[in-house]
Each structure stands twice: as C-alpha cells, then as structure tokens.
A and B are shown apart, each in its own frame.
Chain A
Amino acid sequence: MIQEKLVCTTCACLCDDIEVEIEENRISKIRNACRKGSSLIYASQSDKRHASYLIYGQKVSQDEAVEKTSRLLNQAESPLLFGFDNSTLEAQSTAIELAEALGATIDDTSSFRQGELVQTILSNLNPTCSLDEAKDADLVIYWGSNPYHSHPRHLSHFSYYTHPKYEEAGWFPESRLISIEVRDTETTEICDKSFRFFRILPGEDPDFIASVLAIIEGKKGREDAGEFLKSIKSSSFCVIYAGPGLDYSLDGEYQTFNRMVNRLGECTRIAVIPMIDPYNMRGFNQLLFDKTGFVNRVNFANGASHGLEFSFLEQVRNNVPDCILIAGSDPLSSLPDSLVKNLGDITIITLDPFLTATTRISDVVLGIAVSGLETGGNAIRMDGTEISLNRVISTSIPGDEEIIRRLLDMVKR
C-alpha cells in the first residue's frame, strides 16, 4: 500500500490536501475529499468507465481513431473546438494551437456562464485576490451560489471557517457571512445565524445592484440594499464569491456590477472571486485571454476575431460548423431540444474519460485518461492560482494533451 497526495479535479477549488491509499494501482481509500470529489475519483476507476476508441460506435485502435479525427478536421470547412475546461493547461494550450492551425473557432463552457465575469477580472475591471489572501476577509459574501452543493469544502477549507480569528468553533465568529440568494439553502441557513441572508426574487439582482449604487450616490433605494451597504462599509476586507445565480440573473451584463464593486472599493478593501465549477475553466480563459485578449468565443480563420457569433450556442443555432471537436464536456445534456436537432448534420468528435450523452451521439470517440489522477500537469484554481496536479495512477490510456498534440502534428503536415 502506498500513500500519495492528490489534487482533486472535481471542481475549481482544486483541493490539494487529498490523501489517497493505493493498492495495486487502484485507489482504496481517500481522505479529506468531499463526497462529490470522492465519487468522481472512484468513478474514474470503475470497470464501467469507458476508455476506448470508437468510430460510428465500432471499436477501433487508437491510431485509427486519431487518423480519422485528423482527416475529419482537415476536411472540415468550418471546424469548432469546444470544451477543455476539464483539461490541463498543457492540453488547453495545445488545443488553442490546434484551433489556430485549423483556422477554427474555439469556445468553452464559460460561454454559457461566468465567462464575462472572468473577462472583467482578467481585464482588471474588478478587484480580485487569491483564496489564501481571502482567508483574512472579515466579510464573506456568497452571491447566487450555494457552495455546499457546488464546492462542498469551500467554507471549511477556504473561507468562513478558515478566518484566523474564527475562535472556539464559532463561539466568537469574527468573520461574518452574507448570502444573496433566491431560495433557502444550507449557506443561507448559516447566514441567518451568523449574519445576514438577503432574499431576492429571481432576476432581481440588477435592481438590487442599482439600488446599492443609488444609495452610494445619496439617492433613495431598497431597504435591504441599504443594509447590505452598511455591512460592507463596516468591514475592513470583503470578498464577494460570485456564483452562477448572479450570472444568470445579470445575463452576463456585468457593467453595473463592476461599477458597484468599484464604488464599494472606495470605502473598504473588496475582492471578487468567481465560483467556477469546471476545475480548469479559469485556465482556459487565462490562456486564450493572454493570446487574444478574450476568454472565449474566438475564431482563428482570419487572425483572431471574437464575437457572440463564435459561441458554441450561436454556432450550432446557425448551423455554422460542419465538424465539432469536444473535449471533457457534455454540452448535449444541457442543450435545448431545438438545438440538439441541429447537431444531427454535424460531425462530432469527443474526447472524454467517461461515457456521456455527447459521446453517445459522437461519430468518433476518443477515450482519454482522467487528468489529475492518471496524467499530471497544471491547472488554474477559481482565484487564478496555478496548482500542479499529481499523477497517482499509471495507465496506458493517453491523456488529452497527447491526443491533441498528435492531431496538431498531423494537421500541420
């Protein structure tokens, strides 16, 4: 039996204190990972896990599948590469190179949610900080996010319970918690006890934000917005964890939110950290941003252009791509029926360690290793900190980086 440290790649917390016991190349015990993380780690070694190469549902060799994929990509007039949020930085950067070589469009799940927020943070339009710095925050705000389901260890490992002054198991909580939510959740339950829960109606966030801004400017506004402002003013360091609920309600329009944050920054130290779900979405966003100035929706047909028309949804809606390469993402399970039918005419190639709704309708499937478990590499946590992943299980299945690199070499030829 060997003991190893592992980074959990189930969500963008990238918890790096996971300990595993390994017997005969199989994980037999996992310590510290939450149930969500442990389930995914165990699912990775289930016999039912799919890790084969398929062309039109028939098993083929790795070489055949890779050759077929490169041929399909080369023949395509308007290829689209999508996903990569569950891939390492190394695989992502190879994928961006592949998109350039093909003159393809590239996009990821941040195009469905939170991409705009990450864009504002990378463009320095919103102040941010690392999760390690955030431990000193005396006011923690979860906005449109219930970490107990999306990032179960967020409070115990990074925020509320890790404040240095959180003494005697919460008898004297020096850090305060606010939740802005439309419904009761486990997080709002703590807020009820330890500080404040602001219940707003679905879609009411823009109104709430406008009200906070109005009050800052000396005008009248909602009572709850006034109390919210008062709490922030009385804190010395406030961190807003912005979740998908906020994104959904703002529909990706963050201008007034940014204005509010920056005005609040005049009265206290404030930072915004996006509650990202896929473990390396931020990594993809960062790499594409460094290259093109945009976090997603980029087309390389003519230099690098960016626009809504290059989002996965718009591409499929307008029947633009004739071939889509999807890596580590299952867009089919969340796509409206009207768009699923558009996929019928498109060649789909999927790289995934698991069998998903998307792999089921794919023309070519490339089973890959689970990154962070069966392949090493690096990733960027939700707060922008780079974390290196530790490979603990050896396998002959190649990772996505290796497959994409082979494709890149073949496409270049």
Chain B
Amino acid sequence: MPGRNSTTRGRDELAKRERPQPLYLFQMLPRTNCKLCGCKTCMAFAFSLISRDKKPEDCPPLLEDAYKPTLDQLKEIFGGDVEVNPDTGLLIEEDKCVGCGDCVVVCKKAITTMVYGGMVVQREDKPMVLQVVDGTVQVVNWRSCKRAEDPPDYCRVCEEKCRFGALELVK
C-alpha cells in the first residue's frame, strides 16, 4: 500500500527547517539603506521579509546580476505560496506539515494553563486553536489563541514544538 514506508532525514535537512533570523537575512542584503524597497533600512526590510509583508524581489538592487545567488537563496527561504493568518500571525507551510498533531496538543495545554508565581495554574477550557484537517494543520478557532487576548500574550509554543518547521509566527 502507498505511504507505508518510513524515512528519516539527515542533519542538513533538519537544519534547514529553522526559522530565518533577521540578522542573518540582513547580512545577505545589499546593506546600503537606499530605501528603494520602501523601507527605511535594510534591517527593516529583513523584518518585513519575515512578516511576509515584502518579497525578496521587492528590493531592486537584488535584481541585479551580482545579487542573483543571494536572490535565489532568499527565494528558497521565502518561496512557496503561504498564507499568514491575519489574526494570529501564524503561517503554515502545508507542504512541510505531516499532521503529527504535536502543535495541536501543546497548544491545547498552552491555552488552558498559565504560569503564575512559578506554578502551573489551570484556566477555563477553550475550543482548540489548531486542528489537523485533511492531513495538515489548520487554524480552526483563532479567538482561542493567546495572541488574540487583550493584552496579547506572545506565545510561541506551537512554533517551537513543530519538528518540521511547518509553523511560523511572523508577528
């Protein structure tokens, strides 16, 4: 039957799944702060790349021949069509998600508990934020996310626990 075989990945592939760091991206950019992209600095552009507000092609100097390898590399990091959930800033790369459900269960713990004075305190039950639907994770109740609270709690648990780099919080 299809899909019954197990496979494992090498360390290289595991490393690729780490989230892009702003400083690392900044170092790849022309670093002239020319503002052609509409951002005040190259560093600001790096942050806009991470939040998916800008695409690598939005920096005109990167389109020059000399920067072709850099552009390709950035396109690889930010390639693929992804949609950011506007309410939580949660980006899901379906291609990478295997539907293991780790994020679903850790998020459930995250939204129903809080740390208070070094102790774990139980909170009221809430509908879960995430669910695996048709094999990949989806946001089903964004209102339950700690980031949708007032004031927001910048929780990152789901992103930290995903072993496949399929979840990214871009805000």
Query: Which residues does A use to contact B, with CB under 8 Å?
Result: 10-11, 29-40, 42-43, 86, 146, 148-150, 152-153, 155-157, 161-162, 166-172, 183-186, 189-190, 244, 277-278, 328, 330, 354, 356
- In the bound complex, residues from chain A placing their C-beta under 8 Å from that of B98 are 34-36, 148-149, 152
> Are B106 and A155 touching (Cβ within 8 A)?
no
A405 to B110, CA, bound (A): 52
- What number of B residues sit within 8 Å (CB to CB) of A? 37
Query: CB within 8 A of B100: which of A10, A11, A152?
Result: A152
- In the bound complex, residues from chain B placing their C-beta under 8 Å from that of A157 are 101, 105
Q: Ordered nearest first, which 8 A-B pairs have the shortest CB separation?
A: A38-B135, A35-B135, A150-B6, A34-B99, A186-B163, A156-B101, A35-B99, A149-B6
What are 7 A-to-B residue pairs whose CB atoms are below 8 Å? A34-B101, A148-B164, A156-B102, A183-B8, A190-B163, A278-B4, A330-B1
Query: Which residues does B use to contact A, with CB under 8 Å?
Result: 1-4, 6-11, 14, 97-102, 104-107, 109-110, 113-115, 120, 131-136, 157, 161, 163-164
> Are A31 and B105 touching (Cβ within 8 A)?
no
Q: A40-B1, A169-B110, A183-B10 are in contact. Are A155 and B157 (CB under 8 A)?
A: no
> Are A186 and B14 touching (Cβ within 8 A)?
yes
Which of B8, B11, B109, B157 has the largest number of chain A CB atoms within 10 A? B8
Could you tell me the dominant secondary structure of chain B's interface residues?
A: mixed
- In the bound complex, residues from chain A placing their C-beta under 8 Å from that of B133 are 29-31
- In the bound complex, residues from chain B placing their C-beta under 8 Å from that of A29 are 133-134
Which of B106, B133, B134, B157 has the largest number of chain A CB atoms within 10 A? B134
A112 to B109, CA, bound (A): 40
Closest to B15 in A: A184
Query: CB within 8 A of B102: which of A10, A37, A161, A330?
Result: A161
A165 to B6, CA, bound (A): 30
Q: A10-B4, A153-B101, A156-B101 are in contact. Are A39 and B157 (CB under 8 A)?
A: no
> Are B105 and A149 touching (Cβ within 8 A)?
no
> Are B101 and A167 touching (Cβ within 8 A)?
no
- In the bound complex, residues from chain B placing their C-beta under 8 Å from that of A172 are 120
> Are A185 and B2 touching (Cβ within 8 A)?
no
Which of A10, A146, A153 has the largest number of chain B CB atoms within 10 A? A153
A30 to B133, CA, bound (A): 6
**Nearest Cβ on chain A to B135's Cβ, whole angstroms:** 3
Additional A-B contact list (9), CB under 8 Å, known A39-B3, A148-B98, A171-B115: A11-B4, A30-B134, A35-B97, A35-B99, A156-B101, A168-B115, A171-B120, A244-B6, A354-B1
- In the bound complex, residues from chain A placing their C-beta under 8 Å from that of B136 are 35
- In the bound complex, residues from chain A placing their C-beta under 8 Å from that of B97 are 35
- In the bound complex, residues from chain A placing their C-beta under 8 Å from that of B132 are 31-34
> Are A38 and B113 touching (Cβ within 8 A)?
no
> Are A170 and B6 touching (Cβ within 8 A)?
no
**Nearest Cβ on chain A to B104's Cβ, whole angstroms:** 7
Closest to B9 in A: A185
A337 to B124, CA, bound (A): 60
**Nearest Cβ on chain B to A185's Cβ, whole angstroms:** 5
**Nearest Cβ on chain A to B164's Cβ, whole angstroms:** 7
> Are A186 and B164 touching (Cβ within 8 A)?
yes
A92 to B109, CA, bound (A): 41
- In the bound complex, residues from chain B placing their C-beta under 8 Å from that of A166 are 109
Closest to B12 in A: A184
A171 to B119, CA, bound (A): 11
- In the bound complex, residues from chain B placing their C-beta under 8 Å from that of A171 are 115, 120
A272 to B106, CA, bound (A): 26
**Nearest Cβ on chain B to A270's Cβ, whole angstroms:** 25
Q: A37-B135, A152-B99, A166-B109 are in contact. Are A189 and B163 (CB under 8 A)?
A: yes
Closest to B111 in A: A169
- In the bound complex, residues from chain B placing their C-beta under 8 Å from that of A10 are 1, 3-4
- In the bound complex, residues from chain B placing their C-beta under 8 Å from that of A42 are 134
**Nearest Cβ on chain B to A204's Cβ, whole angstroms:** 17
**Nearest Cβ on chain A to B105's Cβ, whole angstroms:** 5
**Nearest Cβ on chain A to B127's Cβ, whole angstroms:** 13
- In the bound complex, residues from chain B placing their C-beta under 8 Å from that of A170 are 106, 109, 157, 161
Closest to A193 in B: B160
- In the bound complex, residues from chain A placing their C-beta under 8 Å from that of B101 are 32, 34, 152-153, 156-157
A330 to B163, CA, bound (A): 31
Which of B100, B113, B157 has the largest number of chain A CB atoms within 10 A? B100
**Nearest Cβ on chain A to B88's Cβ, whole angstroms:** 16
> Are A43 and B2 touching (Cβ within 8 A)?
yes
> Are A169 and B4 touching (Cβ within 8 A)?
no
Which of A34, A36, A167, A168 has the largest number of chain B CB atoms within 10 A? A168
- In the bound complex, residues from chain B placing their C-beta under 8 Å from that of A146 are 6, 8
Closest to B162 in A: A186
Closest to B157 in A: A169
**Nearest Cβ on chain A to B165's Cβ, whole angstroms:** 10
Q: A11-B4, A29-B133 are in contact. Are A169 and B109 (CB under 8 A)?
A: yes
Closest to B164 in A: A186
- In the bound complex, residues from chain A placing their C-beta under 8 Å from that of B9 are 184-186
> Are A277 and B14 touching (Cβ within 8 A)?
no
